[in-house]
Amino acid sequence: MSKVLFALVAILTVTAVPDSDAQTTQILSAPTFCIAASGQYGSYSTALDVKGASILPPGSRLSVALQDFIGFKSSILSEDAVAVLNKDGFFEATLIPRKGKQFKENMVCLIFFDPHGVQQQDTSVLNIVGGNGELLGVQNNPQVAKNSGGYYLQAFVYIP
């Protein structure tokens, strides 16, 4: 969790420091919503813990899964898991392998927040992000993607 916290503090510090040549007090802002996470594979463990943070509303439900790699013929290695964002903006998920699958080095953790997906979001969350995700920062947020139902937030996290 300290890696995630350090990354968020670093991002916020860098975006809040004005350019040294400019005589302005303007504070730069990050995209409206984002997800950051980390995890570590242990070859002697049968589960993998993923810890993260987000500025999504508390109570947001995130889908979390492990994939062997990104791209053609990749496969999902873990059972599906749901993490719920706590009031402080943190979440945790414990992932276990699917039947017949094994975890390995260099996996990718996929974390999705989908306002209109399988994981039912509370009304209080939808009031902030929009029922179809239209308030996720669609125009300038690099973690926002679109599907037939609307917009969703996604993060791909390298698991060494």
Structural domain span for residue 140: 2-159
Q: What is the pLDDT of residues 102-114, one digit of tens each?
A: 999 999 999 999 9
Overall domain count for the chain: 1
- Angstrom distance (rounded) from CA 11 to CA 5: 10
Q: What is the pLDDT of residues 41-51, one digit of tens each?
A: 998 889 999 99
- Angstrom distance (rounded) from CA 9 to CA 5: 6
- Ramachandran category for residue 5: left, alpha or beta (phi over 0 → left; psi -120 to 50 → alpha): alpha
Question: In this predicted structure, what is the pLDDT of residue 30?
Answer: 61
Q: Report the CATH number that the domain containing residue 66 is assigned in CATH.
A: 2.60.40
